[in-house]
Structure 1
Amino acid sequence: MEIELSKAELREVTRFAVACAEPALPVFESVRPDDRRPREAVDSARAFAEGAERTKAIRDCAWAAHRAYQETRDAGQLAASDAARAAVATASAAFLHPLAKATQVLHILGSAAHTARALELAADDPRVGDEYLDTARKMATPTLVGVLSRYPAAPSGRGRAGELARSLDAALRKSSADR
């Protein structure tokens, strides 16, 4: 089943992802100050959110940020790794597919979930991640929640970041139902 998505809605999803990922960038840059790949992924997504065309350059930046994620993961720099994954998710938000699949929810909420995970790892305190989800929930616009509600609930698995994504997903859907 296909979901109808307007370009304005894609821009709103991407705008949310950018806002969610920005707090993760300093976590990455504190470990790898000369590595601009995650920031470039967020910047390319921001350009789309602000009206630029959706281009291959956004995908290229996402793949570069993905390599930064892999390198930091392999080096045991776990907070930086999740921060880079937040940037990957941000650039991926611009390419949200109109397919009614639970995995697409990660294009919408992945940047928030990975930022929450990066922040809690950096602080060595799982409460920090839960607190960040409250911040992300407050940043969600009715348009974003409307897009989210067209998709199935976030998928199971994917470790702590998946748990954070499911928690945010449930909170946003509940807030929508309460309106």
Structure 2
Amino acid sequence: MAGEVSEIVLSKEDLREVTAFAAACAEVVLGLFEADRPDDPRPRDAIGAARQFARGGERGKSLRDTAWAALKAAKSTDTAAGCEAARAAMAAAGAAYLHPLAKATQVKHILGAGAHAARAAELVAGDDRSVGAERVAQAVRCASPVVVDVLKRFPAAPGGGGRTGELIRLLDDDLRGR
């Protein structure tokens, strides 16, 4: 049937490993959001919920709610770097919802937190792309073999998405080449 998308086998342990990776990526830049909005716990809560799922917690409504709350926090911040840091936290919680569909767009669930974190680091450094590239390299080094294996089950990251999309594709290429 034309347009049919095949399914990819993903275990709950695969999802936990991907979510742990995403949380680690987001946590590195959390301070950029908190410097702007020190009394707003939403991105930290999203990363905490992601970590809880990665350690064996359930993938339920509260995890999804913290992701949405982190996205709202991103829209409330005064700095572009803080916004990207909150989006990294949102993506960390959202990583638990990677769908087993062989679609390139699903790669964002795996790599979105790392790409948003890299973009946040670039922005705080005056839009220095070498800082983003170094943040991507750090994410590559912390990705487990399971994360790389899961990523390779999906098509390559899609085009578009501005600079964050470029960082997703850079991270995708680097991890697939590892």
Same fold (TM over 0.5): yes
> Partner of 2:101: helix, strand, or coil?
coil
Q: Distance in 1 between matches of 2:124 and 2:65?
A: 27
The answer to whether 1:161 aligns with 2:164 is yes
Give, in whole Å, the separation in 2 of the partners of 1:138 and 1:23. Answer: 14
Residue equivalent to 1:24 = 29
CA distance in 1, matches of 2:33, 2:25: 14
Structure 2 distance, partners of 1:114, 1:24, is 9
Q: How many equivalent pairs are there?
A: 172
Q: 2:103 & 2:142 partners in 1: Cα distance?
A: 24
The one of 139, 159, 170 aligned to 2:173: 170
- CA displacement 1:55-100 (0-9 Å, x = unmatched): 110000001001111222xx4x100010011011000001100011
Identity %: 59
Aligned to 1:79: 81
Q: Tell me the TM-score normalized by structure 1.
A: 0.94
TM-score by length of 2: 0.95
Correspondence 1:59 to 2:61: no
Q: Does 1:10 align with 2:15?
A: yes
Structure 1: which 5+ runs fail to align? none
- In structure 2, give the amino acid aligned to 1:23: V
Aligned counterparts of 1:85 and 1:24: Cα–Cα separation in 2:
10
Q: Which residue, out of 137, 142, 150, partners 1:139? A: 142
Higher helix share: 1
Alignment of 1:91-170 (within 5 A): 91-124=93-126, 125-170=128-173
| C-alpha distance in 1 between matches for 2:129 and 2:36 | 20
Which amino acid in 1 is paired with 2:174? Answer: A
Q: Which residue number corresponds to residue 3 of structure 2?
A: none
Give runs of ≥4 in structure 1 deviating > 6 Å.
none
Structure 2 gap ranges (5+):
1-5
- Mapped partners of 1:95, 1:24: distance in 2: 22
1:68 is matched with 73
